[in-house]
Structure 1
Amino acid sequence: MSSHSYRWFSSLLFVLLSLSVYAQKPIRIACVGNSITYGATLTNRARDSYPSQLQNLLGTGYEVTNFGVSGRTLLRDTPSAYTTTDQYKEALKSNPDIVFIKLGTNDSRLPYRLKIDQFIGDYKVLIQSFKTLPTNPRIILLLPVTSFLTDTTRQTDAAIRKLIIPRIRQVAFEEKLELIDLHSLTVTDSLSFPDKLHPSSPVMTTIARRLYETVTLKTQPNFDIFPKIKEPITVSSFYGYDCADFTFQGRACKVVKPRVVAVGKPWIWRARFWGHEPQTDIALLDRGFHVVYCDVAELFGNAEAVELWNKFYKYMHKAGLDTKVCLEGMSRGGIYAYNWAVENPKKVACVYVDAPVLDLKSWPGGKGKSKGSPTDWEIFKKDYGFTSEEEAMQFKGNPLDRVPQIVKGNFPMLHVVGDADDAVPVAENTEPFEKQALALGGQITVIHKPGVNHHPHSLPNPTPIVDFILKATGK
């Protein structure tokens, strides 16, 4: 081989080796946090902490490092500031591609909570220190897990919910960063927090899996629905996410966009009572769904309401959202969701209804066990053009009257009900609906809440609802 050929071959080999090394370079993930990130109280933190479990889930293409330090605050003006630790400096030096920040629990205790007005500014300083790294990392803020402590001088859940979580959401809104709600995810796990503050290994597994979902989420880059809304919009924060308020066809509408859009641009359509018990909506935003609303109150799902929604659906689909939508109806929202679904079955991915009104004679009519609402009953009669009580009693446009048509739509349905509901009794609404649907081969699941009345809606931990929607949308 000539010297020229040798040099050419050596150069080629060097390039190929360099490309191979570059291709195999793992994605670096920095887990920044306090004792919960560190894995305090775990028998084997090297194996069971959520960063370690996340590493196992992701495999060799990733390098997850635990930079957690016990007892540390996000607040900078304390003896326990995280930013004074060697682990913080090492986290910066690691040049991560992804940063998970889980701080704030210790800031909720005395005396640190007395400096809470500094929290937002200090959080932004911490974020900026990572934003300026050459890797331009993806930064994701984690809401604190639930605390089950009762000593009010310590990290109580009341302090976390009132002082810490709203401020983290404000930071996410102002800095346009992703969020993961670990608080709702752990709110029912009191028996899995041995010292009432630190999660056990199974909860760490839940956290690791949630982070894994976020890291591996298939996304739709460079999609922004807001410029596609032609009407004037006002943008505000919906639990840390950007919410556009606008008027369409004379009706108040809202669109909340996720920080990272899931592939296919899935969406959930809230039928009624915007922002009430929002944990499912928030969890879906965390997972790349849009959340939308078009106010058709108070039309009780009549033809006018359905036509307005037809126009709004077309508007949202033209703006880029998926062909199929998830419908969400709380209480009387069940009427709206199902009446639209009957007319548009091919546009429905699934229906989730919560303590749903399925027979208007039950509520607001009060013709059975419910005391009803005389005022709303009169509005219903006006909406449908009934001039007498007899006409209203012959109404056959309830979801309960249309079960065969609904089942033909072939979309999955989830009902969440309180068994002690005396406003919208299960026996007059979901129970006969479910019986008919099952007899006709319908896809219906009912989650019962023993001893619960009409309120509260939803579930404290919305995971069963979210899992139903993710399955229905193929996510």
Structure 2
Amino acid sequence: MKYIKYFIICCLCFTTNTSFAQSKIRIACIGNSITFGSGLKDRAKESYPAQLQTLLGPGYEVLNFGVSGATMLKKGNKPYWKTPEYEQALKAAANVYFIKLGTNDSKLINRPMMGDYLNDYRDMVSTLAKLQSRPRIILLLPIKAFSDEKFGISGTYLKDSIIPSIQKLAYEENLEVIDLHSVFADKEALLADKIHPNAAGDSFIAKRLYELMAQQTKPTGVAGSIPKLNLPAEKSSFYGYNCFQFKFKGRNAKIVVPKREAAGRPWIWRARFWGHEPQTDIALLERGYHVVYCDVAELFGNAEAIGIWNSFYASLQQLGFAKKAVLEGMSRGGVYIYNWAAANPKKVACIYADNPVLDLKSWPGGKGKGPGSKKEWATFLKDYGYENEAQAVAFAGSPIDKISAIVKGGYPMLHVCGDLDEVVPMAENTLPFAEKIKQAGGNISIIHKPEGKHHPHSLPNPQAIVDFILKATQK
């Protein structure tokens, strides 16, 4: 762990940019028709750059360099590179550049050139980085397109090809990247033509960019930029962010580092199913949170699992992480986060649980209406030292049995649950658990998915989850 500590210290070295001495902070918005404000009644006031200007106020100058139909591809059907707006954007020498290009590159006519997309994007970033203003460059993932045909734009191609390319560039060039795609996952009603947002839709973009500009963060530097750093860790991309994987007490562990760190070094601890439905983790990385993981599968939250996590927590404290963790548990991950929280109630900032297992007799035991799992139940018996089924009847080590210990922390809890969960029935897990928590004076809320089953977890747009976490950690 000492090497990991050295890595974090190196990663957190601050960098500063030299900018022109000017009275206002200048922001340039490079993009396509969505940036331009196509289809809006009054684009001068309703486009997201215009709304961002209103939110930021007189200390900022927000410039709109959007071009309808523009592509990032130099050989695309309408290259942004060949427009007057691009020349104007360069001459603006802004302090911040938001780049939102890629939607038109998804058109069938442009796909033969897609092999150039990443390098063309890299060339634009390189050109902007060399400006005398030494700007902060932020990549914007395209908003969700709810069609594969309108205007030739393919929402499927955007998701499967364009967005991964942008995230790859963000990883390779250590650039900030904002996930506007998830922001619009539940906003089809705001896109009358399935592609372009109305004024209300643009306000969501403006608000997200405003939050980014308003948040007090500090650069974490270029992780991995020191080639002689002797780290027993493998570096890879986690949706554009540096993810370091290493061994901790023989277990796989990971730390994902944000591009800019929030005050107090907040973090979210993923219990199980690394990378599954990652939208909440990505949204928190954007906001300066670290994401961590320490695999204790499959110990079902027993004393050994708690001991490993206690040691991992202590190591993270040596690295300066916040004293209170945000705990995230999907499915059986609920057992891990709540059993650890019961043992460490004062080390928890809040809990986000998603279709969580809260009674091991329900799952994997299958002692109620759910199907359970014979294989996992056999593992459970071994983990807790039971020699046979009869001995396990008296088991009282599930989260639902630890209510008094859990509420001692005074932290809020949020459950996101499918009302039709066929694997981990709510009636045997979240519902009785929540009732007991409330009776004990605890703070718990539930987001119901009326038609939801056990999968998929999370929410397509994780904003409600993120708002809950931010409120709990930014007191």
2:181 partner SS = helix
Provide the C-alpha distance between the structure 1 equivalents of 2:468 and 2:222, rounded to a whole number of angstroms.
26
Code of the aligned partner of 2:48:
Y
Shift of 1:79: 3.8
Query: Are 1:105 and 2:103 an aligned pair?
Result: yes
Q: Deviation string for 1:374-412 (max 9, x for gaps)?
A: 010010010011112122121111111111211121011
Provide the C-alpha distance between the structure 2 equivalents of 1:150 and 1:246, rounded to a whole number of angstroms.
41
Alignment check: 8 A CA contact 1:354 1:415 kept: yes
Q: How does 1:286-435 map to 2 (within 5 A)?
A: 286-435=286-435
Code of the aligned partner of 1:465:
I
**CA distance 1:317–1:223, shift in 2 (3 Å):** farther
Q: How does 1:3-22 map to 2 (within 5 A)?
A: none
Query: Are 1:52 and 2:50 an aligned pair?
Result: yes
Alignment check: 8 A CA contact 2:220 2:258 kept: no
Code of the aligned partner of 2:87:
K
Alignment check: 8 A CA contact 2:343 2:405 kept: no
The aligned counterpart of 2:74 is: 76
The aligned counterpart of 2:139 is: 141
Unaligned runs of 5+ in 1: 1-21
Shift of 1:224: 8.1
* Larger radius of gyration between Structure 1 and Structure 2: 1
Q: Deviation string for 1:412-452 (max 9, x for gaps)?
A: 10000001111100000000011111122211010010111
2:108 partner SS = coil
Alignment check: 8 A CA contact 2:413 2:444 kept: yes
Provide the C-alpha distance between the structure 2 equivalents of 1:82 and 1:23, rounded to a whole number of angstroms.
29
The aligned counterpart of 1:211 is: 209
- 1:90 is aligned, of 88, 91, 94, to 88
Alignment check: 8 A CA contact 1:149 1:197 kept: yes
Alignment check: 8 A CA contact 1:255 1:292 kept: yes
The aligned counterpart of 1:235 is: 235
Provide the C-alpha distance between the structure 1 equivalents of 2:47 and 2:206, rounded to a whole number of angstroms.
8
Provide the C-alpha distance between the structure 2 equivalents of 1:40 and 1:373, rounded to a whole number of angstroms.
54
Query: Are 1:121 and 2:119 an aligned pair?
Result: yes
Q: Percent identity?
A: 55
Alignment check: 8 A CA contact 1:116 1:163 kept: no
Alignment check: 8 A CA contact 2:245 2:254 kept: yes
Code of the aligned partner of 1:103:
L
Q: Deviation string for 1:73-120 (max 9, x for gaps)?
A: 000012400011111110110111000000000000110122111100
Provide the C-alpha distance between the structure 2 equivalents of 1:85 and 1:472, rounded to a whole number of angstroms.
46
So what's the TM-score if we normalise by structure 1? 0.93
Q: Deviation string for 1:208-240 (max 9, x for gaps)?
A: 01001111111144578889x985011000001
1:261 partner SS = strand
Q: Deviation string for 1:118-155 (max 9, x for gaps)?
A: 10000000111100001110000000001012428821
Alignment check: 8 A CA contact 2:147 2:194 kept: yes
Provide the C-alpha distance between the structure 1 equivalents of 2:375 and 2:99, rounded to a whole number of angstroms.
50
The aligned counterpart of 2:10 is: none
Alignment check: 8 A CA contact 1:283 1:466 kept: yes
Provide the C-alpha distance between the structure 1 equivalents of 2:220 and 2:267, rounded to a whole number of angstroms.
17
Provide the C-alpha distance between the structure 1 equivalents of 2:218 and 2:196, rounded to a whole number of angstroms.
36
Alignment check: 8 A CA contact 1:355 1:417 kept: yes
Provide the C-alpha distance between the structure 1 equivalents of 2:150 and 2:464, rounded to a whole number of angstroms.
32
**CA distance 1:428–1:225, shift in 2 (3 Å):** farther
So what's the TM-score if we normalise by structure 2? 0.93
2:261 partner SS = coil
The aligned counterpart of 1:151 is: 149
1:111 partner SS = helix
The aligned counterpart of 2:263 is: 263
Provide the C-alpha distance between the structure 1 equivalents of 2:233 and 2:155, rounded to a whole number of angstroms.
36
In the alignment of these two chains, the number of paired residues is 453
The aligned counterpart of 1:174 is: 172
Code of the aligned partner of 2:379:
I
Alignment check: 8 A CA contact 1:220 1:265 kept: no
Which consecutive aligned stretches of 4+ in structure 1 deviate over 3 angstroms post-superposition? 220-227
The aligned counterpart of 1:40 is: 38
Please provide the CA RMSD for this pair: 1.6
Alignment check: 8 A CA contact 2:220 2:259 kept: no
The aligned counterpart of 1:252 is: 252
Provide the C-alpha distance between the structure 2 equivalents of 1:49 and 1:299, rounded to a whole number of angstroms.
52
Alignment check: 8 A CA contact 2:345 2:405 kept: no
Shift of 1:185: 0.4
Code of the aligned partner of 2:216:
K
Alignment check: 8 A CA contact 1:220 1:264 kept: no
Provide the C-alpha distance between the structure 1 equivalents of 2:388 and 2:339, rounded to a whole number of angstroms.
23
Provide the C-alpha distance between the structure 2 equivalents of 1:135 and 1:121, rounded to a whole number of angstroms.
23
1:281 partner SS = helix
The aligned counterpart of 1:460 is: 460
2:28 partner SS = strand
Say which structure, 1 or 2, has more relative contact order (CA 8 Å, 6+ apart).
2
1:340 partner SS = helix
Code of the aligned partner of 2:352:
Y
Code of the aligned partner of 2:178:
I
Provide the C-alpha distance between the structure 2 equivalents of 1:439 and 1:48, rounded to a whole number of angstroms.
48
Shift of 1:24: 6.8
Provide the C-alpha distance between the structure 2 equivalents of 1:222 and 1:359, rounded to a whole number of angstroms.
41
Shift of 1:364: 0.2
2:260 partner SS = coil
Alignment check: 8 A CA contact 2:301 2:339 kept: yes
**CA distance 1:318–1:60, shift in 2 (3 Å):** same
250-259 or 24-33: bigger deviation: 24-33
Alignment check: 8 A CA contact 2:223 2:242 kept: no
**CA distance 1:266–1:225, shift in 2 (3 Å):** farther
Provide the C-alpha distance between the structure 2 equivalents of 1:135 and 1:24, rounded to a whole number of angstroms.
10
Provide the C-alpha distance between the structure 2 equivalents of 1:314 and 1:224, rounded to a whole number of angstroms.
26
